[in-house]
Structure 1
Amino acid sequence: MQEASSPGPAAIRKITWRLIPFLGLIYLIAYIDRQNVSYAKLQMVGDLGLSEYAYGLGASLFFIGYFLFEVPSNVVLEKVGARLWFTRIILSWGLVTIALAFTQSTAMFYILRFLLGACEAGFFPGVLYVLTIWFPFEHRARMVGSFMIFSAVANAIGAPIGGALLDLDGALGLRGWQWVFVVTGIPAVLMGVVTLLYLEDRPETARFLSDEERRWLSQTLAKEDRDMRKTVHANPFSALLDRRVILMSAYYIAFPLAAYGLSYWLPTIVQGFGVSNTANGFINIIPWVIVAVALRVVPAMAAKSGTQTPYIVGPALFGAACLVLSVYVPGSAVKFAFLCGAAAGIFSAQPVMWSLPSSFLTGASAAAGLAAINSVGNLGGFIAQNVVPWIRDETGSTIAPMLFLAACLTVGALMTFPVQAVIRRHREAGMIAPPPRRASLSH
């Protein structure tokens, strides 16, 4: 706790209100622009002659572009600053989203989804890195949770927007799925311009902080790095070979896999209840309202307790159990209730998990390491968008895909224990060994 005379609380409040709503709004737009394909799918599959598998492959190519460009993007961000680089990211993905409205073939769909991933690459891990230079460790899980709430809001408002836009079918000569891409792409282009004018690069140059608040933050972060014996690699790309980063990359796969497997196919599952496109959209608001509440509550509980493991493992196992129960319970309403619980468990564990890498990495190493973990982990989205439709096509039902997602999420939850053990052993070894004279190149 900070003393009453400390500038810390005031600084944290100012930074929170300055950054989190703004970055969250951009993330909301990003999430809508990557998820809008799940609503466009309901019409474009027929128009373009796509099979369920071909659609899943095209949708998942987003993650290949994301994977290839995420680490370089974050390293560039650390060099040039968040203001210019976020502006580039946002403008480019907005233009590609609009271009998706004019897809005329399967090949064009594949290319544009790949480009969307390449353009957006670096935004989410870029925000995670930005939070490490603006917030002390004890605040980060809550800040990531608050930031991720906007993804839940995106799913909530994206659902009715997507359904309503589909019902504009034929207006101005455009199909409903084309309206989905045009209307959801324009806000990104506009926010790119706003970002250039609004965002600050670093605390040292922040005009909204006083000199005393800037000094407090700089001293607090420096002391934290020393006390937690965080790693700074001589070359930031060396962070990719750090055993803790490699292990966390494999560990994180389960969470995007379960999240995207559920959220991409949730509209299709609800459509099976026999509702209209617009009703489908409004029904899909419900799980994301619950997710938003969980994203607020779980990280706050973790921060209050000072521990991470129970608040990663517990929600993840709860989510897996809900996925299994959604398969076997009778009645559409009860199935949907368990899917809501699954979504809450899957998403609320992630902000606490994301506090782990910044407990052992700092500086450019944190930028590269966070991007590596997110890029490899998000291959879970690629797996989900190919394996889930393949399982569905093979079985003819949604039962087997849900069991697959539950099994993957369970494995991810249980991996928390060895991950924490490796991080703890490395820190304890560092406390015993004498401080290094220079940054380590490998681990």
Structure 2
Amino acid sequence: MAEKTTSRAVPDEATVNNALGKVTRHLMPFLLLMYVIAFIDRTNLGWAQQEWEANYGISTAAYTFGATLFFVGYAVFEVPSNLIMHKVGARWWMTRIMITWGIVAASFMFVQGPKTFYALRFLLGVAEAGFFPGVMLYLTYWYPAARRAWATGLFYMGLPIANMFGNPLSGSLLELHGVLGMDGIHWMFLVEGGLAVVVGLICPLVLVDRPSKASWLTEKEQHDLTLQIELEEAAKQKAKPISWGRALADPRILYFCLIYFCIQASVYGLTFFLPKQVTSMTGTSAGFKASLVTAIPWIVALIGVLIIPKLADRRQNHGLLSGLMLAFSGMGIMGSALFLHQPAPALALLSIAAVGFTCAQPIFWQLPTRYLSGAALAGATGLVNAVGNLGGWAAPLLRTWATQSAFGTADNPNEAAGLVVLGMAGIIGVLLVVGLNFFKKSAEERAALSLQSGES
């Protein structure tokens, strides 16, 4: 009996490694595909901006406001969605998310003016709410903490891949203008939204809720991988048991929200306007050629995200590396403001920025998952993503304010000022990451006081 207890208490490392290899092969390509499609559908409006402005009365200010409404719907429904997924399982909830967001994304082909644009952007946020934090939560069911930044980094490859291939795809679809009497932007929204629906229909066939239900793992692999995860969760609960309600009010979680806000401000402040920035910089129109140029920063970012999160796992210095990546992001964006009409140095600096904010994200997500589990982790992850993604709401507004109000006008925008304001978000993020040491020291001091009290 003692022998059985010992074998159950200590999972076999080789068996767990074999199981993780199978998990990566079976689940990560599909999760990556889902993220690629999500990001394309979330940001492809950048390619429609010029035509909407010319033919549908959607000004730059209206475009900026509409682009940000996605994050309002996303933020409102994020936490409930994640808590539902924790209860009903990822398989069917992800299916629901994919299909509904695909239908809404395809419906952008019916935009006729600002009002329909606003309504659909808000609905897209509602439909997609819970997807990203749901995946972050889902990975905690399958990967031990020591491998999670690497796995999250694989998932985050979707960001550069979506921009590497999504931009040329969008540019190519725009050139179908006139085919079957449809505008190019109509083809773009129909095809790219339809892809999400198709992937959503495949979802139940690929995703599995937990290791214990994975038919492609042996019984021993199921047992040992589940045990490895359970031991980590039990250690977190023993050290700091916390309900999801208390987790949402924890100042550390609110602090993580601020850091993620800065990261997302960098991501979307650049992504929404990159096609227009490239066409202005190179003197080309929106289309396939411009899309190839916009792919350059994302190719560099893809290389970075394959290497840097794995390095963070190996050295267990997630805080340091996330701060360094945010510094790359901020300095790269601000530096590009000096070369608005010089494509080569501007693209080099934007590539550095893309590496920075792409790699900062998977490394950052290891910080809140270190001391929360279960419903508390589900709720907190949803909150961090919801509030943090409001950076995507704020960044385009701040960029437009800087370029057209504070330092320029609608007729003579100051693009350099907009880039400097966006870059400052990354620098503020660095300072916030440095401030995490305060929470760490406070926790250590409380633990020491508790120990002294117990001894006395």
- TM-score strictly above 0.5: yes
SS of equivalent residue, structure 2 residue 189? helix
Structure 2 gaps of 5+ residues are 1-9, 452-456
| 8 Å contact kept, 1:63–1:379 | yes
Aligned twin of 2:433: 416
Q: Which moved more, 1:171-180 or 1:70-79?
A: 171-180
Shift in CA distance, 97/278, structure 1 to aligned 2, threshold 3 Å:
same
Match of 1:302 among 312, 320, 324: 312
Structure 1 gaps of 5+ residues are 435-443
Instruction: Give aligned-pair identity as a percent.
Output: 35
Alpha-carbon deviation of 1:20?
1.0
| 8 Å contact kept, 1:146–1:295 | yes
Q: Which moved more, 1:312-321 or 1:129-138?
A: 312-321
SS of equivalent residue, structure 1 residue 207? coil
TM-score (norm 1): 0.93
Aligned twin of 1:110: 118
Alpha-carbon deviation of 1:110?
0.4
Once residues 214 and 129 of structure 2 are traced to their aligned partners in structure 1, the CA distance between those partners, rounded to angstroms, is 26
Aligned twin of 2:74: 66
Query: Match for 1:72: what amino acid?
Result: P
SS of equivalent residue, structure 1 residue 86? helix
Once residues 334 and 281 of structure 1 are traced to their aligned partners in structure 2, the CA distance between those partners, rounded to angstroms, is 18
Shift in CA distance, 424/227, structure 1 to aligned 2, threshold 3 Å:
farther
Aligned twin of 1:268: 276
Q: Does 1:331 align with 2:342?
A: yes
Query: Match for 1:386: what amino acid?
Result: L
Match of 2:417 among 400, 403, 415: 400
Cα deviation, 1:140-164, whole Å, max 9, x if unaligned, reads 1111111010121011111111112
Aligned twin of 1:429: 446
| 8 Å contact kept, 1:144–1:351 | yes
| 8 Å contact kept, 1:322–1:338 | yes
Aligned twin of 1:343: 354
| 8 Å contact kept, 2:108–2:120 | yes
SS of equivalent residue, structure 1 residue 87? helix
Aligned twin of 2:154: 146
Query: Match for 2:57: what amino acid?
Result: G
Shift in CA distance, 5/351, structure 1 to aligned 2, threshold 3 Å:
closer
| 8 Å contact kept, 2:265–2:391 | yes
Cα deviation, 1:302-360, whole Å, max 9, x if unaligned, reads 11112112211112112212222211247221112111111111111111111001101
Aligned twin of 1:196: 204
Query: Match for 1:275: what amino acid?
Result: T
TM-score (norm 2): 0.91
| 8 Å contact kept, 1:31–1:154 | yes
Query: Match for 2:430: what amino acid?
Result: A
Q: Which moved more, 1:20-29 or 1:201-210?
A: 201-210
Q: Does 1:49 align with 2:85?
A: no
Once residues 92 and 233 of structure 1 are traced to their aligned partners in structure 2, the CA distance between those partners, rounded to angstroms, is 33
Match of 1:254 among 243, 262, 273: 262
Query: Match for 1:429: what amino acid?
Result: R
Match of 1:96 among 99, 104, 122: 104
Aligned twin of 2:364: 353
Shift in CA distance, 424/170, structure 1 to aligned 2, threshold 3 Å:
farther
Alpha-carbon deviation of 1:4?
8.1
Query: Match for 1:412: what amino acid?
Result: G
Alpha-carbon deviation of 1:421?
3.4
Q: Does 1:171 align with 2:205?
A: no
Once residues 111 and 171 of structure 1 are traced to their aligned partners in structure 2, the CA distance between those partners, rounded to angstroms, is 27
Aligned twin of 2:326: 316
Alpha-carbon deviation of 1:231?
4.4
Shift in CA distance, 303/70, structure 1 to aligned 2, threshold 3 Å:
same
Query: Match for 2:255: what amino acid?
Result: L
SS of equivalent residue, structure 2 residue 272? helix
Which residues in structure 2 correspond to 1:76-95 (within 5 Å)? 76-95=84-103
Cα deviation, 1:390-439, whole Å, max 9, x if unaligned, reads 322232121001100111110101211222431463366358648xxxxx
SS of equivalent residue, structure 2 residue 422? helix
Once residues 237 and 119 of structure 1 are traced to their aligned partners in structure 2, the CA distance between those partners, rounded to angstroms, is 24
Aligned twin of 1:438: none
Alpha-carbon deviation of 1:70?
0.5
| 8 Å contact kept, 1:319–1:342 | yes
Alpha-carbon deviation of 1:130?
0.4
Match of 1:292 among 294, 297, 302: 302
Aligned twin of 1:19: 27
Once residues 175 and 154 of structure 1 are traced to their aligned partners in structure 2, the CA distance between those partners, rounded to angstroms, is 23
SS of equivalent residue, structure 1 residue 7? helix
Alpha-carbon deviation of 1:225?
2.9
Q: Which runs of 4+ in 1 moved over 6 A?
A: 2-5
SS of equivalent residue, structure 1 residue 378? helix
